[in-house]
C-alpha cells in the first residue's frame, strides 16, 4: 500500500508541476504544443494503467478478500453466535418460568413480611436449580451464574460451583445497581472488572401492564467465548464485533468495549452486504458484515487493508517504471519535433509584443507558411476591429449618459404631477368647490396607487376598497345616477386581511367600461365579499350588456406575455398576478351572458400578511 500511495502522490505532484508550467508559459505557443503532445501520450498511458490496476485490484485482490472474509465471518457466526443463541434460549427459559414470575409479582403487590421473603427465596432458587438440570449453557460451563433481582436487597441466585462467594455476590449487585435503570435496550451487557465474566441482564415484565417486576442476570464465561474466537481468527490485527440493532456491542476481542456503543460508521455500513473500506485511527480496514436475523444482531470482521495489498507491490513497481520511461521518451521526441517547427513563432511573438505596448498601427507581415499567414491575417483583422469597437464604445457611452439623464427626468415628472394635483385640490377647496376638490383628490390617490404599483405588493382589503371608492366616485361624477353601487361584506374583520394591490379596482373598471357604459338604461354594480373554508371570495357583478366569456382564456394568459391595449387586459393581469402570488388553486372565474350581465369572482386565501401564502413561482 505504501507504493500505491507513493504512486498517487507522485501523480498529483506531476499534475501540479505540469499545470504550473502551463501557467508560466501560457503566452508561449511552443510550450503549449509540447504540453499537448505530452498529454496526448500520457493520458492514454495513464488510462490504460488505471484500467490494469483496477482489473488487478477488483478482479483478483478483491475476490481473495471477499472469499477470506466471507469464510471467516461464517465460521464466527457458527461458533460465537451459536453461544449467544444458547444464552438467548436460557434467558427465555427463566423469563417464562411461571413460578419465578408469580413470586416476583406477589412480592411486588403484597407486604414484604419475613415469611414472604423466605418463601420467595426458597421457591425461586429451587426453580433455578430445576431449570438448569437440562440446560446446555449451564451444563457446558458457558453459564457461570443465574441471578434474579427484585431490588437491591432482595435477590436470588444459583452459582455454577454452588458455593457462595461474597466477592461474586457483591459484583453482581454492583452490576445490577449500575444497569437497573437502563431501559433503552432489551439486553444490558457489561464485562466484569474483577472476573473473566460478561454480565447480561433482561427485564421481567408483567404480561398485561408491562411493568417491571424484576431483573434476570446471567454471567457467561468469557474464556469460552474467546477460545471460540481465537480458533477462528488467528491474526491479532483483525477485529471482530457482534452488535445488536441499537449498536450495543455483545462481543469484541477487546473486552473493554463489550457493552459500549459501536462506531456509528460501522453501524450504518453494517446494513450493506457489500465489502467496504473504513479508516479507524488512521489505519484503513476492509470489513464485511452479516445480519443474524433470528437474533436481530450483526457480526462484523475488520481486516487491515495492508495485509491484502502486499502482493501488489512488485507489479506496481514495474508499472511505475513503464510510465516514467514512456513520459521521458515522449518529452524527448516532442522537444525535437517542436523545436524544428516553432522557430518562426519566435518572430511572431516579437510583433505581438510591439502591439501589446499600444502601437495599433503596426501590422504583422506575411510568412511563407500558410498557417502563419492565416494567423497574421486574422490578427491584423482583429486590430482593425479593436479600433472600430473602441470608437463604437465611446459613442455608446454618450448614449448611456443621455439615457440616464432621461431616466432622472422621468422620476421627477410623477412628483411634479402629484404636487400640481394637490395644489389644484386645495385651490378648489379654498374656493368652496367641494366636488372638484373630491374629484381631484380621488384622481391623485388613484394615480399615486398606479404609479407606485408592484405586481407582488399586498395591501389590506380595507385599503383596496378605498381605491375602489375613489374610482367609483369619479365615475359617478361622470355618469350621475345612471350607475348604482351595492357593497356587501359578510364579516367586518375580513377588511383586515391582505389582498394583492389593485386587484378589485380593475374588475370594477371592467364592469363599468365594458358592461354599463354602452347600456342605454341605468346599470348596477354589486361588490360582495364572503369568507368560506379559509378563503376569501370577492364577487363583482353587473347587469350590463355582457360578453362572450369564451373570448377570454385565463389559462392561456398564464403562458404568454399580456400585451398593452389587449381587450380585458385588466382581468388577465389580475388573474395572472393572483396565480403567481398564491399558486394554481387561486385566481379569477368569469360568468357572462350577452344582454344579461357579467359576474367575476376572485378567490384568494385568508392572507394575514405574514408571507405564508407565497407561491413557489416567486421563489
Cα–Cα distance between 70 and 85 in angstroms, integer?
A: 21
Higher pLDDT, 542 or 32: 542
Predicted confidence at residue 535, as pLDDT, reads 92
Predicted confidence at residue 616, as pLDDT, reads 41
User: How many other C-beta atoms can be found within 10 angstroms of the C-beta atom of residue 562?
Assistant: 15
Instruction: State which of 329-343, 469-483, 552-566 shows the largest mean pLDDT.
Output: 469-483
Give the residue-averaged pLDDT of 479-506.
88
Predicted confidence at residue 54, as pLDDT, reads 66
List Cα–Cα distances, 244 to 181, 215, 483, 539, 601, in angstroms. Answer: 19, 20, 82, 65, 62
Nearest residue to 137 via CA among 196, 188, 84: 84
Strands laid side by side in the 483-489 sheet: 483-489, 523-532, 535-542, 597-605, 587-593
Predicted confidence at residue 217, as pLDDT, reads 93
Cα–Cα distance between 508 and 505 in angstroms, integer?
A: 5
Cα–Cα distance between 595 and 598 in angstroms, integer?
A: 9
Residue 15: pLDDT band with limits 50, 70, 90: low
Percent of the chain having pLDDT more than 70?
A: 65
Predicted confidence at residue 20, as pLDDT, reads 59
Contact 444, 418 (CB under 8 A): yes
Predicted confidence at residue 30, as pLDDT, reads 62
Contact 584, 613 (CB under 8 A): no
**For the segment 174-227, what is each residue's pLDDT rounded down to a tens digit?**
989 988 888 777 888 888 888 888 888 999 988 888 888 899 999 988 888 777
Contact 612, 598 (CB under 8 A): no
Q: Return the axis-axis angle of helices 343-356 and 370-430, rounded to nearest 10°.
A: 30
Strands laid side by side in the 212-221 sheet: 155-159, 143-149, 212-221, 197-205, 188-191
List Cα–Cα distances, 349 to 27, 369, 426, in angstroms. Answer: 9, 16, 78
**For the segment 267-281, what is each residue's pLDDT rounded down to a tens digit?**
776 555 566 777 777
**For the segment 527-566, what is each residue's pLDDT rounded down to a tens digit?**
999 999 889 999 999 998 888 777 777 776 555 655 555 6
Predicted confidence at residue 221, as pLDDT, reads 86
Burial of 70 (0-12, 13-18, 19+ CB in 10 A): middle
Please report the DSSP string for 399-456 in residue order: HHHHHHHHHHHHHHHHHHHHHHHHHHHHHHHHTT-HHHHHHHHHHHHHHHHHHT--TT
Judge whether residue 254 has pLDDT over 50: yes
DSSP 327: H
Cα–Cα distance between 292 and 290 in angstroms, integer?
A: 6
Q: What is the CATH class of 485-618? A: alpha beta
Phi, psi of 566, deg, nearest 5: -70, 145
Contact 3, 316 (CB under 8 A): yes
Close Cβ partners of 500 (under 8 Å, ≥ 6 residues apart): 456, 457, 458, 574, 577, 578, 581, 604
User: How many other C-beta atoms can be found within 10 angstroms of the C-beta atom of residue 521?
Assistant: 8
Dihedral sign for Cα atoms in the order 487, 491, 494, 500: negative
Judge whether residue 125 has pLDDT over 60: yes
The separation between CA 347 and the C-alpha centre of its own chain, rounded to angstroms, equals 57
Mean pLDDT, the chain, as a whole number? Answer: 75
SS3 call for 33: helix
Strand partners, 279: 284
Predicted confidence at residue 249, as pLDDT, reads 76
The separation between CA 419 and the C-alpha centre of its own chain, rounded to angstroms, equals 54
Contact 527, 539 (CB under 8 A): yes
**For the segment 340-387, what is each residue's pLDDT rounded down to a tens digit?**
666 666 666 776 776 677 666 677 777 666 766 777 788 778 777 776
Give the residue-averaged pLDDT of 507-529.
87
Higher pLDDT, 349 or 138: 138
Predicted confidence at residue 456, as pLDDT, reads 54
Rg (alpha carbons) of the chain, rounded to whole number: 45
Cα–Cα distance between 32 and 59 in angstroms, integer?
A: 39
Cell digits for 144?
A: 457461570
Residue with cell 417486576: 213
How is the chain split into domains, by residue range? 485-618
Predicted confidence at residue 412, as pLDDT, reads 41
Judge whether residue 63 has pLDDT over 70: no
Amino acid at each position: 500500500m505504501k507504493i500505491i500511495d507513493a504512486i498517487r502522490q507522485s501523480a498529483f505532484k506531476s499534475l501540479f508541476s505540469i499545470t504550473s508550467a502551463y501557467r508560466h508559459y501560457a503566452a508561449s505557443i511552443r510550450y503549449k504544443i509540447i504540453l499537448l503532445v505530452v498529454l496526448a501520450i500520457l493520458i492514454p498511458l495513464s488510462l490504460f494503467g488505471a484500467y490494469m490496476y483496477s482489473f488487478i485490484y477488483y478482479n483478483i485482490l478483491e475476490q481473495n478478500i471477499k472469499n477470506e472474509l466471507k469464510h471467516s465471518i461464517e465460521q464466527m457466526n457458527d461458533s460465537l453466535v451459536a453461544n449467544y443463541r444458547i444464552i438467548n434460549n436460557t434467558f427465555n427459559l427463566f423469563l417464562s418460568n411461571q413460578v419465578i414470575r408469580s413470586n416476583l409479582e406477589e412480592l411486588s403487590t403484597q407486604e414484604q413480611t419475613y415469611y414472604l421473603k423466605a418463601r420467595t427465596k426458597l421457591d425461586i432458587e429451587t426453580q433455578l436449580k430445576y431449570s438448569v438440570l437440562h440446560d446446555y449453557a449451564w451444563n457446558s460451563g458457558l453459564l457461570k451464574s443465574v441471578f434474579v433481582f427484585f431490588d437491591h436487597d432482595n435477590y436470588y441466585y444459583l452459582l455454577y460451583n454452588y458455593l457462595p462467594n461474597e466477592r461474586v455476590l457483591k459484583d453482581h449487585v454492583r452490576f445490577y445497581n449500575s444497569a437497573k435503570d437502563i431501559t433503552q435496550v432489551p439486553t444490558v451487557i457489561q464485562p466484569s472488572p474483577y472476573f473473566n465474566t460478561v454480565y447480561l441482564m433482561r427485564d421481567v415484565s408483567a404480561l398485561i401492564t408491562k411493568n417491571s417486576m424484576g431483573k434476570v442476570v446471567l454471567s457467561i464465561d468469557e474464556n469460552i467465548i474467546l477460545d471460540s474466537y481465537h480458533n477462528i481468527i488467528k491474526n491479532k490485527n483483525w477485529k471482530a464485533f457482534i452488535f445488536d440493532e441499537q449498536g450495543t456491542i455483545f462481543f469484541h476481542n477487546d473486552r473493554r468495549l463489550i457493552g459500549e456503543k459501536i462506531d456509528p460508521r460501522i453501524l450504518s455500513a453494517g446494513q450493506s452486504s457489500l465489502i467496504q473500506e473504513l479508516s479507524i485511527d488512521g489505519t484503513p480496514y476492509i470489513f464485511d458484515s452479516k445480519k443474524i436475523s433470528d437474533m436481530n444482531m450483526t457480526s462484523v470482521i475488520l481486516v487491515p487493508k495492508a495485509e491484502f495489498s502486499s502482493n501488489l507491490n512488485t507489479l506496481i513497481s514495474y508499472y511505475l517504471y513503464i510510465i516514467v520511461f514512456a513520459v521521458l521518451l515522449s518529452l524527448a521526441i516532442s522537444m525535437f519535433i517542436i523545436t524544428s517547427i516553432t522557430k518562426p513563432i519566435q518572430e511572431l511573438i516579437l510583433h505581438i509584443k510591439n502591439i501589446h505596448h499600444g502601437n495599433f498601427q503596426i501590422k504583422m507581415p506575411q510568412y511563407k507558411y500558410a498557417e502563419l499567414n492565416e494567423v497574421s491575417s486574422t490578427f491584423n483583422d482583429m486590430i482593425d476591429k479593436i479600433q472600430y469597437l473602441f470608437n463604437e464604445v465611446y459613442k455608446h457611452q454618450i448614449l448611456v449618459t443621455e439615457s440616464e439623464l432621461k431616466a432622472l427626468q422621468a422620476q421627477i415628472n410623477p412628483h411634479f404631477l402629484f404636487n400640481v394635483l394637490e395644489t389644484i385640490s386645495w385651490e378648489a377647496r379654498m374656493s368652496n368647490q367641494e366636488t372638484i376638490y373630491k374629484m381631484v383628490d380621488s384622481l391623485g390617490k388613484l394615480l399615486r396607487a398606479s404609479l407606485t404599483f408592484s405586481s407582488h405588493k399586498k395591501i389590506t382589503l380595507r385599503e383596496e376598497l378605498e381605491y375602489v371608492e375613489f374610482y367609483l366616485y369619479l365615475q359617478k361624477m361622470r355618469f350621475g345616477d345612471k350607475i348604482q353601487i351595492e357593497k356587501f361584506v359578510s364579516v367586518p374583520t375580513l377588511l383586515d386581511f391582505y389582498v394583492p394591490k389593485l386587484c378589485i379596482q380593475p374588475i370594477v373598471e371592467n364592469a363599468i367600461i365594458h358592461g354599463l357604459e354602452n347600456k342605454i338604461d341605468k346599470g348596477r354594480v354589486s361588490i360582495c365579499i364572503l369568507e368560506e373554508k379559509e378563503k376569501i371570495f370577492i364577487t363583482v357583478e353587473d347587469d350590463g350588456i355582457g360578453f362572450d366569456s369564451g373570448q377570454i382564456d385565463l389559462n392561456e394568459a398564464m403562458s404568454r406575455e399580456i400585451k398593452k391595449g389587449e381587450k380585458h387586459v385588466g382581468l388577465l393581469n389580475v388573474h395572472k398576478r393572483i396565480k403567481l402570488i398564491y399558486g394554481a388553486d387561486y385566481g379569477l372565474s368569469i360568468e357572462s351572458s350577452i344582454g344579461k350581465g357579467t359576474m367575476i369572482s376572485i378567490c384568494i386565501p385568508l392572507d394575514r400578511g405574514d408571507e405564508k401564502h407565497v407561491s413557489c413561482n416567486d421563489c
